Amino acid sequence: MIIKPFKIDIPQIDLDDLHERLARTRWPDELPGVGWSRGVPLGYLKELADYWRTRYDWRKHEASLNQFPQFTTEIDGANIHFLHVRSPEPNAFPLILTHGWPGSIVEFLDVIGPLSDPRSHGGNPADAFDLVIPSVPGFGLSGPTREIGWTEQRIAAAFAELMRRLGYDRYGAQGGDVGAVVSPDLGRVDPEHVVGIHVNAASIGFMPFPPLDDAELAQLTDAEKARVERIVQFLAEGFGYSQIQSTRPQTLAYGLTDSPVGQLAWIVEKFQEWTYGTQRPEDIIDRDRLLTNIMLYWLTGTAGSSARLYYEGKHSGSWGQQRGNTPTGVAVFAEDIAIRRYAEQANNIVHWSEFNRGGHFAALEAPDLLVGDIRTFFAKLR
């Protein structure tokens, strides 16, 4: 199948429509003194929406994204958009990076240079990678999907075909969140070519599902017990978005596709909850970077189709069906919940790192740590 060069070029009418919608936002009321406990605070979101409407410059960030070589190709009936950044080093190792929800290719902008051109970023040129960074089917510029059945396993199979079309016979896979499900599945569907898998923000296949009995808890370290407590808290107070997306994504899609402030709140809440050590996500991640990520959902109308991935995963019954044998490395950042003894039940763990900073969006929050750990893991597998 044909691989076509691609350039982002959003019609001005779509940007004008966004600005008009933001200006006409119908705001809800808010109880006094509740902060973030019941969702995104009204005052915070009003200020952020005003910045989005009056100061954020999409054309600037569109041009920045277009500095990277981009392509599209059709695989299994879906349009796949991807960045393909070849290293200037002749012996660079191929690596496919897979984002999660509510992320996008924007997550990886700070790691592209250090991974593809370490010589220019104070690193060893022997650690260079050729990077393939797809938009997950249903997300952003690879969306929307047009039929049911786009599970993580089907995405992995599509990415295996993408790497074949690009001529890569041996390659590695890295990802966080959804990418930490797709990447191990790549090792399962393409074991002859995937030589190693590296994940962060890992959950399914890398963590226990509470409640744990007393005997099991007694075997855990204090750090592992703290992760179990975070899992319990997440399931009790932070899991609502997943329950909705995995049961009624179509109903959700109407509000998020029609209201930019609705889309903004739905995503920025997760950046606030899942970044490490902050009350406002832009204390950790550049505000324009956050909005560029949100723009890829808004401009492509993929709030609903990205949510459908949760529905497919919940209803496919395919999680945990097969142990992975590909060598796997795990980076556990300060907000992550992976526990090695559980990860080893489903994966061939050969590398495990733990960090005291960084959160769910490691490529945005702690790109230096993530790049270093990716280099260390794959150095033994090239």
Distance CA 69, CA 382 (A): 24
For the chain, the residue count is 382
Structure tokens at 349: 């763990």
Distance CA 125, CA 91 (A): 9
Rounded (10°) angle between helices 303-316 and 287-300? 80
Active site positions, annotated: 177, 310, 360
